[in-house]
Amino acid sequence: MLNPHPDLTPSVLVGLGWFYLVIFLMNLLWTIRSFKVDGEYRNGMPKASLWAVYTSIVMMLSFYHFTYPVEGFMFSMPLAFKDFFDAYFSNPVLYFFLTILGLWAMIQFREWWTKPTVAWVLLNCSLIFMTLSLTDYDFRQIVGKPDNVPIVAMLFIVAFFTWIYFRRAVDNDRRIDEGRPLFEQEDNDKVLVWPDLVYTELICMVVLTAVLVFWGIALQAPLEEPASSMKTPNPSKAPWYFLGLQEMLVYFDPWLAGVVLPSIILGGLIAVPYIDFNKAGNGYYSFKERSFAITTFLFGFMPLWVALIVLGTFLRGPNWNFFGIYEYWDVHKVEAANNVNLSEFFWNGLGLGIPKGSGVGDILLRESPGIILTIVYFAALPPVLGLTVLRKYFVRMGVLRFLVFSNLILWMAILPIKMLLRWAFALKYIVGIPEFFFNI
Amino acid sequence: MTDPKPSTNDILSKIRAKNAAAAPAEQPAAPVAPVIEAPVASEAVAPVEKPAAAAPKGTSDILAAARAAAKPAGTADILAAIKKPAAVVAPAAPAAGGTPKSPADIMAAIRAKAGAAPAAEAAPAAEKSVVAKAAIAAPAGMSAAEMIKAARSVAGGTPVPPKVVLPAKPLVGKAPVTGAKAPAAQIERRTAVGELVVFLLSPVFIAWASFSTACGAFGLGVARFMMPNVLVEPPTKFKIGPTNDYAPGTVSTKWQAQFNIWVVNGEVDGAQMIYALSTVCTHLGCTPNWLEGEQKFKCPCHGSGFYKNGVNFEGPAPRPLERVGIRLAEDGMLEVDKSVKFQRELGQWSNPSCFVGVT
């Protein structure tokens, strides 16, 4: 019987063989490095021998993929794991909490995961996870789509640059604690713009062009059927870099998520230099001296932007339903999502019934709980925060700067708050006045 | 000096060599002075020539004077002092070697003049020096072009001959009529028609004419673009067949592709009726899909869901789908009018123009 969705085909196996070969070569170099750098165990065995064993296993795996027939192939992601993953990890709530947890762990254990060996182990884990997952048809359909290749690359690139930042910052923090000069001061090998920098840029330019050309040849542009106003592709996805915003549009009115929030993001980023009073960390990496600024940035960047792009790309399927990474994209997947406005919660909860009537007064009365809540959130919270949690910042910034700062923070916080409310209470809008096209 | 265009380094090294020698180089100042002075004006040249002869003999003198006045404290001061006179000397080099070859040389000469002024102020001892003269001689309101002209005339050793005033050219430029074959007398005899022909054949006219023609053609093309031959807008009023085409409890998607509507035969508030829903999602305008299994309209863009009656219940859509006008035409067919919309949140669904009751 011909399986229309084969998990494994000969070409997939050969591709995976190449993938393993790359991993093998990477680890071969790493083993050499480890032999030179890592030293020995107490019994005289070099620590690199573990890497040598692992590397040779990967090499054998590579050859196994090249030579083995599809029937009876043994090395793939276990079905039990896939089912477990799809059953428990395919919901946005858990996903979001995991990203927050990941951010927390990244900051908390920064001294640990910035060690080269640890980072290398993590990289290998992610690569092996990739290769194992690629044996799954549905995973391959999502990840291998030419559209989505840059996002897979982006994950590794973001991880790499974050790692570099934390490694330098951890190093400098240690130096500051010990009273030693900063890395940037001690290792101050300044070079000339010409030729050092310009040559580097030239080489980068050439390499990048070569990569783009190769990419353009190797991966075909994902053309779809001709556009039609009558038919929307299902799922219909924004360009990958806007998928975070598209995810926001699920929770907010288009006017808010499409116009107001992006403007606030841009305006807020422009305002950062005027808000930031902390002069430390200027020209060198440091985490401890700028922990608040960096945590805030990473929160806005990692869970609220990168993770949402990943969510929109890999985990949103037909009808914008949430799918596990090994799950078949079933157009008819039913997801109960009966959303209710805050006003309905409020008036029905009080047993009064929603105020009827289409006059302006009636509408405002109907939505009064949400309106009051919103006003309190944006007007009353900043002073409260300034007098309690953020007192330190209030004192340093003064009234005007603090108001801008706290409102930006509150706008950023409204994203996860609204998402949580939607997930927890199926809340649609806090203020829902479709009559005026005004929904919050 | 053999090198007609010495570099700054050359000049500096020469100056340094002179300083080291500390002896008057006895380089005649004469070539220096005119270079700086002459460009001003002819009447300025005469008084200047003589003091120039009595003035310090060489650059080293100027340097010494400048140093004496400035009392250099450090190397930097000395260098600065050297640089100022060096600027004066710079033009001397090309002057001695011959005519300056490039505008760069000429500009250097002009700059040297400007640079000499502060040096003179800083060195009162060198009051009578060439430097000072140069400073005085440098007129304030001289344009760069004038400076260049003046500098050229002097550096070249000969005054610039008065520019040959060419006879004003006629518009036709190099038109053959003005050539040797046609004497001036004949030109005057040309008729207006002849001049027009000459003008029309001139390259300037041809170039501009073709350019304007191209622009005009483009403009016409744009104007034509605004009035397309075919307007692919479906009519807003159309017949969709008799009522019994639509079985009770069904959603018909057969007009979705053509007219962007769904025709629903359903029960609303206890009354069986046929109504037409617009296929535009009220969130961001995608086209939702009718899912028969789940009995709902589901938008693929952000997951908005609508009941069969068009009321939104899930996802971000803020309001129900819109109904369009529908009526039973005189011939017993249903007629849809897409030019009117009926929104539930505005209480318009009770309007009898947006549904047809069926029994």
CB contact under 8 A, B283 and A232: no
Interface contact B299-A319, CB threshold 8 A? yes
B297 Cα distance to chain centroid:
51
Residue A165's pLDDT is 95
Taking the Cβ of residue B260 and every Cβ of chain A, the question of whether any pair is shorter than 8 Å is answered with yes
Region for A32 from its dihedrals, namely left if φ exceeds 0, alpha if ψ lies in -120 to 50, beta otherwise: alpha
Closest chain A residue to B298, measured at CA: A319
Give chain A positions within 8 Å (CB) of B287.
Answer: 229-232
Collapsed DSSP state (helix, strand, coil) of residue B275: strand
Would you call the peptide bond into A235 cis, given omega within 30 degrees of 0 as the criterion? yes
Residue with the two structure tokens 């927390």 = A104
Distance CA A316, CA B131 (A): 81
Q: Which helix (H) or strand (E) segment is A353 a member of? A: none
* Ordered alpha helix ranges (H), B243-284: 256-259
B337, containing H or E segment: strand B333-342
Check CB contact of B316 with chain A, cutoff 8 Å: yes
Give the helix ranges, DSSP H, for B202-336. 203-225, 256-259
Q: What are phi and psi of B337, to 5 degrees?
A: -120, 105
User: Which residue in this structure is represented by tokens 């395919």?
Assistant: A90
Find which of A185-189, B62-66, B67-71, B281-285 is predicted with most confidence, using mean pLDDT: B281-285
Contact between A232 and B345 using a beta-carbon 8 Å cutoff: no
Kindly tell me if the per-residue pLDDT of B103 is higher than 80: no
Nearest to A254 among B283, B305, B314 (CB): B283
Q: Which of B258, B302, B346 to mutate to test the interface with A (most CBs of A within 10 A)?
A: B302
Across A189-203, b (16+ Cβ under 10 Å) vs e yields eeeeeeeeeeeeeee
Q: Between chains, do B345 and A435 touch, taking CB under 8 Å as contact? A: yes
Of B300, B316, B347, the CB nearest to A235: B300
Residues of chain A in contact with residue B294, where contact means CB-CB under 8 angstroms, are 332, 334
Residue in chain B closest to A244 (alpha carbons) equals B302
**Does the CB of B315 have a partner CB in chain A at under 8 Å?**
yes
Cβ neighbours of A343 in B, within 8 Å = none
Reading the block at residue B315, the tokens are 């996802």
pLDDT for position A118: 94
**SS3 labels along A301-340:** HHHHHHHHHHHHHHHECHHHCECCCCCCCCCCCCCCCCCE
> Pick from A236, A332, A434: which is nearest to B318 by CB?
A434
Q: Among B286, B291, B314, whose Cβ lies nearest the Cβ of A236?
A: B286
Contact assessment for residue A307 and residue A315, using Cβ atoms and an 8 Å cutoff = no
DSSP classification of residue B348: G
User: A258–B256: do the CB atoms touch at under 8 Å?
Assistant: no
Cα three-residue angle B183-B188-B189, rounded to 5 degrees = 95
Average pLDDT over residues B75-88: 53
Please report the pLDDT score of residue B13 as a whole number: 78
Angstroms from A8 CA to nearest CA on chain B: 30
Q: Which amino acid is at B75?
A: T
Q: How confident is the model at residue B276 (pLDDT cuts 50, 70, 90)?
A: very high
How big is the CA angle at B341 (ends B338 and B342), to the nearest 5 degrees? 135
Give the pLDDT score at A256.
87
| Helix orientation angle between A92-108 and A79-89, rounded to the nearest 10 degrees | 100
Considering CB atoms only, which of A233, A249, A435 is closest to B302?
A249
Using CA atoms, how far residue A438 sits from A253, A433, B4, B201, in Å, is 8, 5, 79, 68
| Residue A203 φ then ψ, to 5° | -65, -40
If you measure CA to CA, which chain A residue comes closest to B318? A434
Chain B residues with CB inside 8 Å of A230's CB?
Answer: 256-258, 260, 279, 287
Tell me the domains of chain B and their CATH numbers: 8-155 (no CATH), 237-357 (2.102.10.10)
Cis peptide before A195 (omega within 30 of 0): yes
B316–A229 C-beta distance less than 8 A: no
Mutate which: A232, A253, A415, vs B, most B CBs within 10 A: A232
Whether the CB-CB separation of B58 and B29 falls below 8 Å is answered with yes
Judge whether B256 is closer than 8 Å to chain A, CB to CB: yes
Instruction: Give dist(CA A405, CA A399) in Å, integer.
Output: 10
Q: Give the span between the Cα atoms of A135 and A76, in whole angstroms.
A: 6
Concatenating the DSSP letter of every residue in A211-238 gives HHHHHHHHS-----SPPBTTB--SS---
Whether residue B115 is predicted with pLDDT greater than 60 in this model: the reply is no
Say which of A229, A233, A253 has its CB closest to residue B318.
A253
pLDDT at B5: 65
Collapsing DSSP states into helix, strand and coil, what is residue B268? Answer: strand
Residue B216: CB atoms within 10 A of its CB come to 10
Instruction: State the smallest CA–CA distance between residue B274 and chain A in angstroms.
Output: 22
Closest by CA to A82, choosing from A365, A359, A323, is A323
Closest Cβ opposite residue A332 in set B279, B291, B319:
B291
* CA–CA min distance A322, chain B (Å): 10
Task: Kindly identify which residue of chain B lies nearest to residue A238, measuring between CA atoms.
Answer: B301
Q: What is the spatial distance between Cα A341 and Cα A80, in angstroms, rounded to a whole number?
A: 40
pLDDT digits (tens, 9 = 90+) for B241-256: 998 889 888 999 888 8
Residue B279 and residue B261 in contact, taking contact as beta carbons nearer than 8 Å: yes
Burial B339-350 (b: 16+ CB within 10 A, else e): eeebbbbeeebe
* Dist CA A170 CA A162 (whole Å): 12
Nearest CA-CA distance, residue B244 and chain A, Å: 25
pLDDT of residue B143: 63
Separation CA A198–CA A221 (nearest Å): 33
Suggest the residue from A246, A319, A340, A423 to mutate for an interface test with chain B (most B CBs closer than 10 A): A319
Cα separation, B182 vs B58, in Å, equals 60
| Per-residue pLDDT at B25 | 43
The yes-or-no verdict on residue B132 having pLDDT over 50 is: no
CA nearest B36: which of B91, B93, B104? B91
Res. B30 pLDDT band, cuts 50 70 90: very low
Q: What is the pLDDT of residue B97?
A: 44
CB atoms A232 and B300 under 8 Å? yes
Q: Note the pTM of the prediction, 2 decimals.
A: 0.65
Interface contact B260-A231, CB threshold 8 A: no
| Cβ pair B242, B334 in contact under 8 A | yes
Write down the pLDDT at residue B112.
62
pLDDT at A218: 86
The ranges assigned to domains in chain A are 1-75, 342-439
User: Distance from CA of residue A46 to its chain's centroid?
Assistant: 38
User: 3-state DSSP call for residue A356?
Assistant: coil
Confidence of residue B174 (pLDDT cuts 50, 70, 90): very low
Residue pair B304/B316 in contact by the 8 Å Cβ criterion: yes
Complex prediction ipTM? 0.74
- Three-state DSSP at A418 gives helix
Contact state of A229 with B284 under an 8 Å Cβ cutoff:
no
- Residue B23: pLDDT above 70? no
Which residues neighbour B292 within 8 Å (Cβ) at sequence distance 6 or greater?
Answer: B251
Mapping DSSP to helix (H, G, I), strand (E, B) and coil, where does residue B290 land?
A: strand
Whether pLDDT at B55 is above 70: no
CB pairs under 8 A between A and B: 87
Closest chain B residue to A358 measured between Cα atoms?
B346
pLDDT for B75: 58
Chain A contact present for B183, CB below 8 A = no
Closest-approach residue (CA) in chain B for A245? B302
Q: Is residue B1 very low, low, confident or very high in pLDDT (cuts 50, 70, 90)?
A: very low
Radius of gyration of chain B (CA): 46
> What is the rounded CA–CA span in Å between residue B323 and residue B319?
12
Task: Judge contact between B158 and B102, C-beta under 8 A.
Answer: no
- Shortest Cα distance from A287 to chain B (angstroms)? 38
Nearest chain A CA: its distance from B314 CA (Å): 5
Residue B230, number of CB atoms within 10 A of its CB: 5
Alpha-carbon Rg for chain A, nearest whole angstrom, is 26
User: What stretch of H or E contains B160?
Assistant: none
pLDDT score at B321: 93
Largest Cα–Cα separation, chain B: 125
Distance CA A237, CA A316 (A): 9
Asked if the Cβ–Cβ distance from B301 to A337 is below 8 Å, we say: no
CA distance A46 to A40: 4
Cβ B281 vs Cβ A305: under 8 Å = no
Q: Are A323 and A314 in contact (CB under 8 A)?
A: no
Low-confidence ranges of chain A (pLDDT < 70): 1-5, 69-74, 336-337
Q: Residue B209 has what pLDDT? A: 96
Rounded Cα distance between B66 and B52, Å, is 17
Local confidence band at B106 (pLDDT 50, 70, 90 cut-offs): low
- Rounded Cα distance between B323 and B308, Å, is 12
Q: Report how far apart the first and last C-alpha atoms of chain A are (Å, whole number).
A: 53
Q: Report the residue from B279, B302, B319 with minimal CB separation from A250.
A: B302
Confidence at residue A66, expressed as pLDDT on a 0 to 100 scale: 86
Q: Is the pLDDT of residue B98 over 60?
A: no
The dihedral sign for the CA sequence A228, A233, A236, A241: negative
Is residue B299 classed as helix, strand or coil in its secondary structure? coil
B292, closest residue in chain A (CA to CA): A332
Burial of B239 (0-12, 13-18, 19+ CB in 10 A): exposed
CB contact under 8 A, A339 and B313: yes
Q: What is the DSSP letter of B320?
A: P
Strand partners, B271: B268
Arithmetic mean of pLDDT, B329-350: 89
- For B262, the closest chain A residue by CA position comes to A230
Spell out which residues of chain A touch residue B260, defining contact as CB-CB under 8 Å: 229-230
